[in-house]
Homo-oligomer: A and B are copies of this chain.
Amino acid sequence: QDEETLRQAEESHRQDSTKVLVFTLLLTLTILTIWLFKHRRFRFLHETGLAMIYGLLVGVILRFGVHVQPDVSNSTLTCVGKSRPSSLLLNVSGHLYEYELRGEVDSRSSDNLPSVDMLRKATFDPEVFFNILLPPIIFHAGYSLKRRHFFRNLGAILTYAFVGTVISSFVIGLVMYGCVALMNAIGQLDGDFFFTDCLFFGAIISATDPVTVLAIFSELKVDVDLYALMFGESVLNDAVAIVLSSSVVAYQPSGESSQALDGRAMLTSLGVFLAVLSGSFVLGSAAGVLTALVTKFTRLRDFPLLETALFFLMSWSTFLLAEACSITGVVAVLFCGITQAHYTYNNLSAESKSRTKELFELLNFLAENFIFSYMGLTLFSFQKHVFNPVFITGAFLAIFLGRAANIYPLSFLLNLGRTNAISLNFQHVMMFAGLRGAMTFALSIRDTATYARQMMFSSTLLIVFFTVWVFGGGTTPMLSFLKIRYTHTHTHIHSYTHTHTHTQGMAKTVGTVGRRDTAWLFRLWYTFDHKYVKPLLTHSGPPLITTLPACCAPVAHCLTSSQTYEQQDSDSELILNHSPSMLYSDLSVSADAVFDPSSSVQDQPLLQGPTHSVLSTEESPIVPGPVPLPPHSSPLSEPLRLRL
C-alpha cells in the first residue's frame, strides 16, 4: 500500500509537471512567434492576441485530440455526509488520512470521467491568477506609470476610473437585468439569475485592461496625454472593479428574497467599498514608504543583490499583508508600486534600478502571456460553458452602452473644468480602446459554481476575445482614421553590440494639450511632497534643513543623510543638461526619464538609464534623455515652471 501511494504521488507529480510543461512550451512558442512578427513587422495581430490563439489551439487539441485511458487505480471512494467540511478524515484500519476539499464535481459530466479528468488537469486553481499572476502585472503597471503625464491628468483619470467605472457597472447591470428578464420571458433561463448577479457582471466587465492598452499604445507612441488617460484609467479601474465586485458579492442574496437591494445594504456596501479601497491605498503606500526609509537609512545600496531582494520581498509582503488583512492585495500592490517608483527608486543604486525594473518587466511579460494563453485554452477546456445567444448579444450591447455612459458624459463634464479639452477624437479612442482582458478574466473565473456565473464566464471569454482581437488589432487603423498620428519605432542593428533606435516620422498631436489642469489641491500636495516628503524619504530633492522651519533643525539634521547634499538626482541630470533653467524640476522628471512604459513592448532596445547602452536617437535630435518622447511633449520647462 505504501508503494501504491508512492506510485500515485509520482504519477500525480508527473502529470503536474507535464501540465506546467505544456504551458512553458506554449509560452516559448509564443515568444518565438512574437519575435517573428516583430522581426517581419506584422502588425495586424497583437502579441496578447497571439498568445490567445496558441492557447485556443492547445485547448482544441486537449479537447478533441487526446484520449486518455481511464485510470483504474485512481478509483474513488464515495462517502455520504450531511455537510461539506473543508477537510475529511478517512480511517483505514487505524490510520487516519486527511483529505482536503477540492471542489464540486459536476454530476452531469461524470459519465465520461477520464476525459473530464484530463481537461481538469489542464486547468489551474483560479486563485493562481490572483495570487501569483496578477500581482507582478499590477505592480509593474504602478512601477512604470509615466508619472508626469499621469499626475498632470490625475483629475480626469480619477474621474473616469472611479465615477466612470461605477456608472458603467450600473449601466451594464441594468441592461443585463433587462436582458435576463427577456430571457426569462422567452424561457431561455435554466437557473437563478439575480439582480446582484447582473451588478456583479457589470463590475467585472467594466475593468478595462492595462496590459493590452499599454502594449498597443506604447508601441504606437500615440499622444502622451491620451496614453496617460487610457493607461491611468485602466490601471485604477482594475482596482475599482475588484473592490466593487467583492462588495456586490458580500450582499449576494442567499435565498429567494433577493431581487431588491435594500437601501441599508447598499450603503453598507458603499462603506465596505470605500474602506477596502482606502485600506489598500494606505497599506500599499505605507509599505512603499517603509521601503524608502529602509533603503535611505541603511547603506544597502552597497550590495545591489541584497537591495533588489529586499525591494522584491517588501513589495511582495505588501500583497501578502493585504491578503492576510482581508483587503485586496492587488490594489495594495498597485499603490505600493506607485510609491516605490516615486520614492524608493531614487534611493536605489544604479545597479538595483535596472535590476528591479528588468525583473518586474520579465515577471510581467511572463505572467501576462501566461494569462492570455490560458484564456485561449479555457474556451475549450472549461467544462461548464453556458453560451446563451441572447445573453451574449445583450452583454456586447451592454459593454458599449456602459463604456459610452462612462466616457462621453464624463468627458463633457471634465471639459467644463479643463483648459485643454479632451477632444472628441480622444473620446472616441477611449471609447473604442476600452479592451477587456486579464482582470476581467481573473474575476470571472474566480467563482464558476452557479449557473449565472457560468453564463457570465462564457460570455466574458467571448468579449475578451472579441475586444482583444478586433479592437486591439483595429487600434492602428482607428488612430489613423481619427487623425491621431502616431510613430512606429523600428529597431535596426548597425553594429554587433549596440542597438540604435530610429524613429520614423515625427509625431504631431491633434488634441490641444493645456498646462493647467492640475487642481489646486493637487498643486498643494505636489509642493508638500517636493519640500518635505521626498527629502524625508529619498536622497533627492532639496535638503530638509532648507525646507523645514528653523525650530525643526535638529530633527531635520538627523533625517537628512549626507548623501542628500552630495548626490544630484542622477536621472534628472540628463534632462537638466538640456534645459538648465529648470531649478528643482527634477521632481517630476526624474523617474519619467528612466521609466518608459514602452520598455515592456520589446520593440526597442531596453532603456537602461545612464549606465548602459549606447542609444542614438537618430532622426529626433531634440529628444534629450534615453526615452524617445514624441517631440511635441518635449517643452519640459514650460509646464514645470508653472508649478513652482
Contacts and interface: CB of A to CB of B under 8 A. Distances in A.
A94 B79 contact: no
A641 interface: no
A79 B79 CA distance: 7
B299 A39 contact: yes
Contact of A87 (B2, B39, B76, B313): B76
A550 interface: no
Interface in A587-639: 599-600, 602-603, 605-606, 608, 611-613
Given A38-B303, A96-B107, A314 B74 contact: no
B105 A324 contact: no
Number of copies of this kind of chain in the complex = 2
Q: Give the residue among A91, A95, A306, A312 with the most B Cβ atoms within 10 A.
A: A306
A430 B2 CA distance: 39
Contact of A80 (B91, B105, B300, B611): B91
Interface string A567-586: 10010000000000000000
A362 B97 contact: no
Interface stretch (A14-22, A199-207, A408-416, A460-468): A14-22
A28 interface: yes
A520 interface: no
B355 A602 contact: no
B92 A82 contact: yes
A83 interface: yes
A599 B351 CA distance: 13
Contact of A100 (B32, B99, B304, B491): B99
Nearest to A567: B496
A125 to B, nearest CB: 11
A305 B102 CA distance: 37
A104 interface: yes
A174 interface: no
B101 A32 contact: no
Contacts of A92: 80-84
Contact of A17 (B35, B79, B93, B323): B323
Interface in A275-322: 294, 298-300, 302-306, 308-310, 312-314, 316-317, 320-321
Given A5-B84, A8-B86, A79-B91, 17 more contacts: A17-B321, A21-B317, A24-B317, A25-B317, A27-B313, A35-B299, A77-B79, A78-B91, A81-B92, A88-B90, A96-B105, A302-B493, A305-B365, A305-B606, A351-B605, A351-B606, A496-B567
